[in-house]
Amino acid sequence: MSHARVQAEDLALTGPTLRVRIPRLDDAGALFAQASDARVTRWFSWGPYQHEDEATAYLQRLPAERARGVQLDLVVEHRQSGPIGITGFSEIARRDRRATIGSWLGHDWWGTGANREAKALMCHLGFLLLGLERIGSYTGVEHVRSQRALESIGFEREGVLRAFHRHGEQRLDVVVFSLLRAAWESGPLRDVPASVSGVPPPLFVSTAR
Is 8 or 120 the residue whose CB approaches ligand COA more closely? 120
Selection from 156, 159, 149, 78 nearest residue 119 by Cα: 149
Q: How many CB atoms are located within 10 Å of the residue 27 CB?
A: 20
Q: Identify the residue among 16, 29, 82, 111 touching ligand COA (CB under 6 A).
A: 111
Q: Does 104 bind ligand COA (CB under 6 A)?
A: yes
Q: Give the pairing type, strands 98-105 and 134-140.
A: parallel
Is 8 or 147 the residue whose CB approaches ligand COA more closely? 147
Q: Does 34 bind ligand COA (CB under 6 A)?
A: no
Instruction: Kindly write down the DSSP assignment for every residue of 12-52, as one continuous string.
Output: EEE-SSEEEE---GGGHHHHHHHHTSHHHHTTSSS---SSH
Q: Of the listed pieces 52-60, 67-75, 99-107, 192-200, which binds ligand COA according to CB under 6 A?
A: 99-107
Is 116 or 124 the residue whose CB approaches ligand COA more closely? 116
Q: Does 67 bind ligand COA (CB under 6 A)?
A: no
Is 49 or 104 the residue whose CB approaches ligand COA more closely? 104
Binding residues for ligand COA restricted to 128-147, rule: CB under 6 A? 139, 143-146
Contact between residue 47 and residue 168 where contact means Cβ atoms under 8 Å apart: no
Site string for ligand COA, 148-187 (x = CB under 6 A): xx--x-----------------------------------
List CB contacts of 53: < 8 A, sequence separation 6 or more.
Answer: none
Helix axes of 52-67 and 28-35: crossing angle, nearest 10 degrees: 120
Which residues of this chain interact with ligand COA, rule CB under 6 A? 40, 43, 103-105, 110-111, 115-116, 139, 143-146, 148-149, 152
